[in-house]
C-alpha cells in the first residue's frame, strides 16, 4: 500500500481522473480519507475536488463520471457541506460547483447538483442566504439555477424569479411590492439567462433599462456578452444606454468585441454587433 502521507494525493488524483476503482480501493483501505483534508491552504476534502474549482490548477478538471465519484464519496461518509477555504472561510462543494466552468463544460454540473441534493446538501446555503442559487445566477449557469430550484431551493425574491424565468412568482413578488434594487437585479439576471418575457415585464413596470450591477455592467452588457440577441433587441427598443462603461472601461459594444475575441463566440454575436452599431454604439 502507498505511504500514509501520500494517500490523500493519490485519492485526489483518482477523483479528478474519474478512476472509480482506485478511489474505492483507497477508501476501503483508508476509511479516514473520506473526510481527510488537503495539507494545502485551501484545506479541501476529496469531495471539494469534484467541484473542480479553487484547488490546484492541474486538478481543475471534471471527468464524465464525476457524479459517480461524488456518490461514492458520500456513500462512504463524506460530509456533504464540509467547508474549505478556496475563496473565503466557508466554501462548500455545492457553492464551488455552481460557479465552476469545468463541470459545466463536461456536462456534469446538473447531475452533480442532484447527487449533492440526494445527500442533503444545504440548497439555500448554510445560513439560508440562497448563496448557491445566487451564485449560479451570477455566473450565468442557467441549468444549475434551474436544477437548484427544482430540487427545492427557495425562490425568495423577484430577482430570483426573473433569473429563473418564473413569471408566476415574478408577478406575485411585483404585486407584493418588490423594491427597486430587487427589480433591477432581476432585469440583469433575466438578461443573462435569456428570459425575454421577464425582461419585457420588468421594463413595462418601470425598471430602468440602464440599471447597473456593482461592476457597472448593464443588462445590455450582459445580454450582448452572453449572445442573447432577443434581449438585446428588447433593451435597445426600450432605450437602454449605449455608452455606459463597465469596470473594465467597456461599453456594451466594446464588451461584446472583447468577448468574441477572448471567449467562445456565441452564434448570435455577429447579429448583436450589427444591432449595436446600427443603434449608434461605440466601443
Q: What is the CATH number of the domain that holds 11?
A: 1.25.40.20
Match 413578488 to its residue by C-alpha cell.
173
* Domain boundaries, position 217: 160-278
Give a yes or no: residue 246 inside a domain.
yes
Question: Of 70, 90, 120, which one is at a domain's C-terminal end?
Answer: 120
DSSP codes of every residue in 110-129: HHHHHHHHHTT--TT-TTSS
Give a yes or no: residue 248 inside a domain.
yes
Give a yes or no: residue 139 inside a domain.
no
Give a yes or no: residue 232 inside a domain.
yes
In this structure, the chain runs to a length of 283
Residues 108 and 30 in one domain: yes
Residues 192 and 116 in one domain: no
CB atoms within 10 A of CB 159: 26
Give a yes or no: residue 80 inside a domain.
yes
pLDDT at position 5 is 60
| Residue in 61, 95, 68, 102 with CA at minimum distance from that of residue 81 | 95
Domain count, the chain: 2
* 86-130 per-position pLDDT tens digit: 998 789 999 999 999 999 999 999 999 999 999 999 999 999 999
Three-state DSSP string of 211-248: CECCCCCEHHHHHHHCCCHHHHHHHHHCCCCCCCCCCC
Three-state DSSP string of 27-72: HHHCHHHHHCCCCCCCCCCHHHHHCCCCCCHHHCCCCCCHHHHHHH
* 69-79 per-position pLDDT tens digit: 999 999 999 99
Residues 30 and 103 in one domain: yes
Whether 222 has a pLDDT exceeding 80, the answer reads yes
Residues 99 and 193 in one domain: no
Whether 256 has a pLDDT exceeding 80, the answer reads yes
| Residue 148 three-state SS | helix
Question: Of 120, 149, 181, which one is at a domain's C-terminal end?
Answer: 120
Half-sphere exposure of 174 (CA within 13 A, CB side): 21
For residue 17, what are the contacts with CB-CB under 8 A and spacing of at least 6? 63
Greater model confidence, 251 or 2: 251
Give a yes or no: residue 213 inside a domain.
yes
Confidence of residue 4 (pLDDT cuts 50, 70, 90): very low
Residues 188 and 269 in one domain: yes
Whether 83 has a pLDDT exceeding 50, the answer reads yes
- Please classify residue 24 by burial: count the beta carbons closer than 10 Å to its beta carbon, then call 0-12 exposed, 13-18 middle and 19+ buried: middle
Distances from the Cα of 54 to the Cα of 91, 108, 114, 184, 241, angstroms: 10, 18, 21, 30, 36
Residues 164 and 273 in one domain: yes
Residues 110 and 208 in one domain: no
* 8-60 per-position pLDDT tens digit: 999 999 999 999 999 999 999 999 999 999 999 999 999 999 999 999 999 99
pTM: 0.94
Whether 1 has a pLDDT exceeding 50, the answer reads no
Residues 201 and 261 in one domain: yes
Mean pLDDT for the chain overall? 96
Give a yes or no: residue 189 inside a domain.
yes
pLDDT at position 193 is 98
Whether 3 has a pLDDT exceeding 70, the answer reads no
Percent of the chain scoring above 90 in pLDDT: 95
pLDDT at position 90 is 81
Amino acid at each position: 500500500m502507498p505511504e500514509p502521507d501520500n494517500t490523500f494525493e493519490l485519492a485526489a488524483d483518482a477523483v479528478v481522473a474519474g478512476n472509480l476503482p482506485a478511489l474505492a480501493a483507497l477508501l476501503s483501505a483508508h476509511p479516514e480519507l473520506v473526510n481527510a483534508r488537503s495539507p494545502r491552504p485551501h484545506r479541501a476534502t476529496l469531495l471539494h475536488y469534484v467541484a473542480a474549482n479553487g484547488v490546484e490548477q492541474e486538478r481543475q478538471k471534471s471527468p464524465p463520471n464525476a457524479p459517480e465519484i461524488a456518490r461514492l464519496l458520500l456513500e462512504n461518509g463524506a460530509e456533504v457541506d464540509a467547508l474549505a477555504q478556496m475563496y473565503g472561510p466557508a466554501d462548500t462543494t455545492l457553492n464551488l460547483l455552481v460557479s465552476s466552468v469545468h463541470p459545466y463544460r463536461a456536462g456534469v454540473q446538473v447531475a452533480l447538483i442532484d447527487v449533492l441534493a440526494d445527500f442533503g446538501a444545504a440548497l439555500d446555503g448554510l445560513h439560508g442566504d440562497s448563496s448557491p442559487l445566487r451564485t449560479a445566477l451570477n455566473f450565468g449557469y442557467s441549468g444549475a439555477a434551474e436544477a437548484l430550484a427544482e430540487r427545492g431551493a427557495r425562490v425568495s425574491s423577484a430577482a430570483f424569479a426573473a433569473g429563473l424565468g418564473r413569471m408566476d412568482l415574478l408577478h406575485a413578488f411585483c404585486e407584493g411590492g418588490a423594491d427597486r434594487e430587487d427589480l433591477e437585479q432581476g432585469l440583469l439576471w433575466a438578461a443573462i439567462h435569456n428570459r425575454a418575457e421577464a425582461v419585457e415585464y420588468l421594463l413595462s413596470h418601470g425598471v430602468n433599462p440602464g440599471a447597473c450591477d456593482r461592476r457597472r455592467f448593464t443588462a445590455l452588457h450582459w445580454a450582448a456578452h452572453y449572445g442573447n440577441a432577443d434581449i438585446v433587441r428588447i433593451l435597445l427598443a426600450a432605450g437602454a444606454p449605449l455608452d455606459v462603461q463597465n469596470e473594465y472601461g467597456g461599453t456594451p459594444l466594446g464588451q461584446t468585441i472583447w468577448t468574441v475575441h477572448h471567449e467562445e463566440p456565441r452564434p448570435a454575436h455577429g447579429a448583436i454587433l450589427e444591432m449595436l452599431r446600427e443603434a449608434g454604439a461605440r466601443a
